Amino acid sequence: MSALQHFIETRRKDSEILLMTHVVYGYPTVDESLALMRDLLDTGVELLEVQFPFSDPSADGPSILNACHEALENKPTLSACLEDMAKLSRDYPDSRILLMSYLNPFYRYGLERLPKDAAQSGISGFIVPDLPLELAGAFRSACNDADVEPVWMLTPETPASRMQDICAAATGLLYCVSRRGVTGKSDGNAQPLDDYLAGIRTYTDLPLAVGFGIRDAAQVAALTGKADIAILGSGILDAFNAGGRAAVRDLVQSLRG
């Protein structure tokens, strides 16, 4: 069992469902994004997904897309991000940080050296939506050597044979996209969530994290008993854009019931 999976399963003993919250590094400024991350960790969020911005975040809806574009105006660097994550991981040892971005920024940094540097910064895993399993051999090997987990994504359109392959390769947790489309509001065409998650469960015992369109306490409650982690991305950003950090704190506290 990986360290990340052990952490999740240990925390699940005391909580029906864990929270993963998403913040774009550098939006609206680097300092403000770090302050928001600290607010979230202060509320007891178990997993923090930190997105390093990219100009074409193909899996993300308008809220995260706009945040990425504004963040890039601040010219963030991945090296500085890793330094900032090292400080967060030291200050919040009871939570875990996952670094999310698209392949291009990670490739430019160096896919084979990034896992070691990230591990030294206290990062527990990577989410790279546009890196397919079949092309990730060197990256997976480097992650394994560094004890950092590459987190793979499943969608309702993932064929059963491919789902089985991804589940067999996965460690740490699985990121289960709840519906087709991009992050944000539902398009109304989702496969029944219960059936989808039950299908995944036939192939793996790993913790399941569910995201895309999760925005309120009722949706989090609906995942209880079906998933281990609820992921909030666009909902966090929309709350921040509407009411600042206080609104985000209020939202997260409401999710705790």
Single-letter amino acid, residue 119 = A
User: Cα angle vertex 142, ends 138, 145, to 5°?
Assistant: 140
Structure tokens at 21: 């919250």
CA-to-CA distance for 215 and 132, rounded, in angstroms? 28
Q: Measuring CA to CA, how many Å separate 152 from each of 16, 32, 89?
A: 23, 29, 22
Single-letter amino acid, residue 105 = P
User: Cα angle vertex 239, ends 235, 244, to 5°?
Assistant: 145
3-state SS class at 47: strand
Contact 242, 255 (CB under 8 A): no
User: What are the backbone dihedrals phi and psi of residue 201, each rounded to the nearest 5 degrees, phi first?
Assistant: -65, -20
Contact 98, 127 (CB under 8 A): yes
CA-to-CA distance for 256 and 43, rounded, in angstroms? 10
Active-site positions read 49, 60
Answer whether the bond into residue 93 is a cis peptide, omega within 30°.
no
